[in-house]
Structure 1
Amino acid sequence: MLLAPIACAAAFATASPQSLTAAQAREDFDLALAAVEAGLPNITWFQSPQDWKRAKQSARQALHAVHDDVGLFRVLRPLLSRIGEGHLSLQRSAMMRAEDARARGLLPVDLRWTEAGAWVMAGWETAARIPPGTRLLAIDDEPAAELMRESMSALGHDGTIQTGVMRELDGGGYARARQWMRGGADRYRLRLQDAAGTVYEQVVDGIANAARPARVEVVESPVARLEWLDPHIARLVVPTFSNRRHREAGSDYREVVRKAFETLREQGASTLILDLRDNGGGSEGNENYLFSFLVREPLRKYAAVKARGATVSVRDAHGRRYTAEVYDRQELRQQLRTPGDQLSRRNEPPEGLMSHWEARSDVFGGRLIVLAGGNTFSGAAELCSMLYHARRALFVGEEVAGAYAGNTSGYRWNIELPNSHMRLHVPLLQFRFAWNELPLGRGVPADCAAPPDLPGSNRDTALDLALQLSLRPWSHDALCAADLRPLHD
């Protein structure tokens, strides 16, 4: 779905995009389309073949109005987004990013999006006096819920899950995504609701990108850490499953995890709060290693792990070939040829289709609460799916950003589109789980909803709620609703 023009705001001039001829735009579009259809093992996993056919036809018709890289992005990105594979990405070119930095007419508010709506985090220039925590109801008469639905076309996501997109839109993210898809505007008419419940309107001026302070990247340690909240309640924060990031920090992921569970056992922990809120995944198998300390018996995790073939390849309009190797000769020994002429992983060690191969004697048997949400993705989302299927944990936070049914990730095919120079990243392995209790395309839901707090609130509502739950019997469903407060309180 393409974003409609803004009804009540004049278009604001932006820096000049890179011009494309009709033939160049069509060449990049056709190459991108051919690559995703050649690389993704199942492009209609989260959509019907008929819907995909209609979406392609509609996007191809929209190419007639494309004259530059910006216009091509606005046609191609929504088409890719509807596939529902969050590991499939379209990176804006270096020239486009430079133009973005010089852009003007951006929305002058930073927002925090949740499943309950959107709240102002900060305002700039004419929006500077909007108090943080003010609820955004609409922009130019378009309600926040509609803006969120439209934002799903500007960013990648698994299935139909919104929480991962929400976290990307946090802060100035929505203003940037809106500018990508609509351009800037002179003015924006905001409908707002203050802490007392009063609804009012305020017209604010669009700002230059440079007027918004640069994002400060806070570099957190990637190393998992164990902390005690009381003598019998521990919190294990696992920021990543990446072996590389652990090595760069002078650590070994598996050794850290093993020692953490050894400490839990030695000190007699009765409840573990596993914090996966900022874990976007990492190295395959590390989610299984953690799972093996929480669930004793091995679990058949995947129904199948499939690839289109040992290599994938397409040609562009000039006959140039683009090829990616999926499996080398040694890896091919672990694959079976399917009736559909795809490759499917054998269920044999070391990888196979299982969570782990032998029951552990040192498994943690206490109560488990998992903190998860829109930044919980890829391997971390897989761990949540396994724990949810095993009925092992209580989930606090938001819907997990990774699809419960599985994902397409693993090896990646990187292609630079020759005319616009945008970079397409196509994941090549479909990891399909051996269960389907939830609606297709949705993530593990929160048993107790606790959206992220506004920055500067000095609160961690999700952690506070998890701690309260750990101190009481687990039959307190009412506690989940009663102990939460609106973001502006």
Structure 2
Amino acid sequence: MAELTSRIGEGHLTVRPASAAAAQQRRTARLLPLDLHWSTEGIFVSEGYGDAADIPLGSRLLSINGEHGDTLLQELMSLVEHDGRIATGAMRECPGSCYAVLRHRRRGTESAFALIYAPPAGGTVHRTVGAHPMAERPRAPDRERRRAALEWLAPGLAYLEVPSFSNRVYRDAGTTFRDEMRHLFEELQRGRAERLILDLRENGGGSEPNESILFSFLVDTPLRKYRAVDARGQRISVASASGQIFETEVYDEDEIHFQRSAGDGRLTRLNVPPEGLMSHWAPSTPVFSGRLVVLAGGRTFSGAAELASMLHHVGRAVFVGEEVGGAHEGNTSGYSWPLVLPHSGVALGIPLLRFRFDWPGLPAGRGVRPHCDVPPSVDEIGVARDRAWRVARVIALQDWGTPDRAVCPPLASTGSPRTHRATGSTSAPRPGPRSRLFA
């Protein structure tokens, strides 16, 4: 099923095994004994188990059973939800033991694996290792949902991480996303920030229209964001081969009034407040207009990818990192219809709204690409101030006029995570003379 749905190229269309099947695999399966880090630079070993426990971390994996990196990546993308032809989305959503688990689901039990790899010290190693019990592998930790956080790195230079657009994160903290953004941008204004690094690398989206709210604090003029937002109809109904009917309604009784018939039973969103087809209807205050550097990558998805596309379209920022996980032309997302297949127990998450952006630009099925290509390194997994962060800091301190004039430094010149020291304070530094950077 995953191989079928992955061909659609829609990352919001999810497929999950039945809980009983997943539990059975956990108890009985024997897996490829490697955790892997996927990158545009190659496939790297991040941990080894059993027979492979002595493989040096950071070794570049060249082949498994004669299948080389391109073939393995194609298999990964056939089993992981992703937008269009964007490989970085699959790479970031399948770290650690993920590939080993999916490989077992697709291929069944394999007793041994003929590996070719290149250790960091040099040379090439050919060896065969046995499978390792899945029950003895650590479970992947849940992704933490955190609120936005602001840090001052130097006078006039700030770092803002926005790891989620989920309303629940802010509601649980007793606030709203808009109020939180207003507070943070007021702090930037008080500190007379003129350079800002915005980190969206862990932002997989969340609640509409939070991506547009953040955009409104970075760009004064409202933007026609969507060409259209469509639904197949108000009621979606499908029948199984046995005649069982599954159906759902798309809009509630309030939202249906903001739609109009587009023919063939389809509904399309009216371009009227509060959301419509615009990024925003009125400016937010204060609006930061200084130099902006955006950290983005494969986990920058859904609403965060939409924000990246908006900023890219208006030429607002220098992008550092890797290709974002969401396609530039739009997506199918919004509301999700959870559907459990009656016999297998396979659980589908079916997106119900089609969003199409109102701009041309990138090749179909691709996301916003960085001005400075800095994929995550295997030896910096879990390091917040990794080489992409360090490159972003260098770029932020440059005096480029437009994003395409920024100069990407050689990666070796950015140093180790300890090269650049920040204040670690969330209070603003003492400002010197500054130009007007807020509207």
Give the TM-score taking structure 2 as reference length.
Answer: 0.89
Identify unmatched segments of 5+ residues in structure 2: 417-439
Which among 216, 220, 243 is matched to residue 296 of structure 1?
220
Which among 54, 73, 80 is matched to residue 129 of structure 1?
54
Which among 340, 344, 369 is matched to residue 445 of structure 1?
369
Deviations 1:128-186 (A, max 9, x none): 11111110111111111210111111111111111111112211111111111112311
Contact kept, 8 Å, 1:232 with 1:268, in 2: the verdict is yes
Q: How far did residue 485 of structure 1 move?
A: 8.8
Which among 137, 149, 152 is matched to residue 228 of structure 1?
152
The letter for the 2-side match of 1:93 is A
Contact kept, 8 Å, 2:56 with 2:120, in 1: the verdict is no
Q: How far did residue 361 of structure 1 move?
A: 5.3
1:49 alignment partner in structure 2 = none
Out of 205-214 and 119-128, give the one that drifted further: 205-214
In structure 2, what is the Cα distance between the partners aligned to 1:447 and 1:111? Answer: 27
Q: How far did residue 123 of structure 1 move?
A: 0.5
In structure 1, what is the Cα distance between the partners aligned to 2:256 and 2:41? Answer: 47
Q: 1:467 aligns to what SS in structure 2?
A: helix
Deviations 1:184-240 (A, max 9, x none): 3111111111224312212111111012223344645x1111001111110111111
Aligned residues: 411
In structure 1, what is the Cα distance between the partners aligned to 2:184 and 2:321? Answer: 23
Q: How far did residue 415 of structure 1 move?
A: 1.5
In structure 2, what is the Cα distance between the partners aligned to 1:131 and 1:449? Answer: 26
Contact kept, 8 Å, 1:465 with 1:483, in 2: the verdict is no
Kindly tell me: are residues 79 and 136 of structure 1, through their superposed partners in 2, closer, same or farther at Cα, counting changes over 3 Å? same
Q: 2:320 aligns to what SS in structure 1?
A: strand
Q: How far did residue 362 of structure 1 move?
A: 2.3
Kindly tell me: are residues 339 and 216 of structure 1, through their superposed partners in 2, closer, same or farther at Cα, counting changes over 3 Å? closer
Deviations 1:434-453 (A, max 9, x none): 01200011011111112223
Q: 1:444 aligns to what SS in structure 2?
A: coil
The letter for the 2-side match of 1:135 is R
Give the TM-score taking structure 1 as reference length.
Answer: 0.81
Which among 85, 88, 93 is matched to residue 18 of structure 2?
93
Kindly tell me: are residues 390 and 476 of structure 1, through their superposed partners in 2, closer, same or farther at Cα, counting changes over 3 Å? closer
The letter for the 1-side match of 2:387 is T
Which among 381, 384, 395 is matched to residue 469 of structure 1?
395
Give the fraction of aligned pairs with identical amino acids, expressed as a percent. 48
1:25 alignment partner in structure 2 = none
2:96 alignment partner in structure 1 = 171
The letter for the 1-side match of 2:376 is P
In structure 2, what is the Cα distance between the partners aligned to 1:134 and 1:379? Answer: 35
In structure 1, what is the Cα distance between the partners aligned to 2:380 and 2:135? Answer: 23
Q: 1:318 aligns to what SS in structure 2?
A: coil
Larger fraction in helix: 1
In structure 1, what is the Cα distance between the partners aligned to 2:78 and 2:303? Answer: 24
Q: How far did residue 268 of structure 1 move?
A: 0.9
In structure 1, what is the Cα distance between the partners aligned to 2:142 and 2:294? Answer: 26
In structure 1, what is the Cα distance between the partners aligned to 2:412 and 2:379? Answer: 22
In structure 2, what is the Cα distance between the partners aligned to 1:407 and 1:483? Answer: 38
Which among 387, 393, 416 is matched to residue 317 of structure 2?
393
Q: How far did residue 333 of structure 1 move?
A: 1.7
In structure 2, what is the Cα distance between the partners aligned to 1:371 and 1:227? Answer: 15
2:48 is the counterpart of 1:118: no
Kindly tell me: are residues 426 and 277 of structure 1, through their superposed partners in 2, closer, same or farther at Cα, counting changes over 3 Å? same
RMSD over aligned CA atoms reads: 1.9
In structure 2, what is the Cα distance between the partners aligned to 1:158 and 1:214? Answer: 26
2:176 is the counterpart of 1:252: yes
In structure 2, what is the Cα distance between the partners aligned to 1:380 and 1:95? Answer: 33
Identify unmatched segments of 5+ residues in structure 1: 1-75
In structure 1, what is the Cα distance between the partners aligned to 2:270 and 2:215? Answer: 21
2:107 is the counterpart of 1:107: no
